[in-house]
Amino acid sequence: EAVGRRSARLIRRLVLNASLPWETQRKRMSMAMAAVRPPKGVASERRAVGGVPCELLVPKAAEAVATLVHVHGGGFTVGGPSSCRSWAGALVERLGIAVVLPDYRLAPEQPFPAGLEDTVAVLDEVLSGAPEGSAGSR
C-alpha cells in the first residue's frame, strides 16, 4: 500500500503535473508506459476501429466471447492505450473477451468534442458488429 501511494505521488509530481506543458506530460507518460506489455496469453494489434486508431487485445487461445471498449482516463488531454494495457490484458486473459483501447484525439490541440466524437465512432462500429478479428459479440 505504501509503495502504491508513493508511486501515485511520483506520477502526480513528475507526469500529471498541471504546471507542466501538455507535451511534457504526454511524453513522460508515454515513456513510463512504453514497457507495459499485455500478458502472454493476449495478442495485441493496432488497427482503426470506426476510423480511429485503436489497440485491440484478444485472447490467443480461444475466440473472444464479447468485446469491451475501454476509454482511458486523462480528461481528454493525456493518456493513451498503453496506460491501461496491463489492466485490459488481464480482463482479456481472465474473461476471454476482446478489449478495444481507442487512441482518441487529445485537447488542447484537438478541442472537445474531438475525443468524444472518436469514442462514439469506435462504439458505433463495435455495436454494429465486433471489429473484424476480435470474434466477439456485444
State the average pLDDT for the chain. Answer: 86
- pTM value is 0.78
pLDDT category at 138 given cuts 50, 70, 90 is very low
List, for residues 63-103, the tens digit of each pLDDT value: 999 999 999 988 888 888 988 898 999 999 999 999 999 99
Distance in angstroms (rounded) separating the CA atoms of residues 52 and 59: 22
Q: Is the pLDDT of residue 119 over 60?
A: yes
Reference 126, options 71, 68, 87; nearest CA is: 68
Please name the helix (run of DSSP H) or strand (run of DSSP E) that holds residue 81, with its range, or none.
none
Asked if 55 contacts 133 with a C-beta cutoff of 8 angstroms, the reply is no
Fill in the DSSP letter of residue 118: H
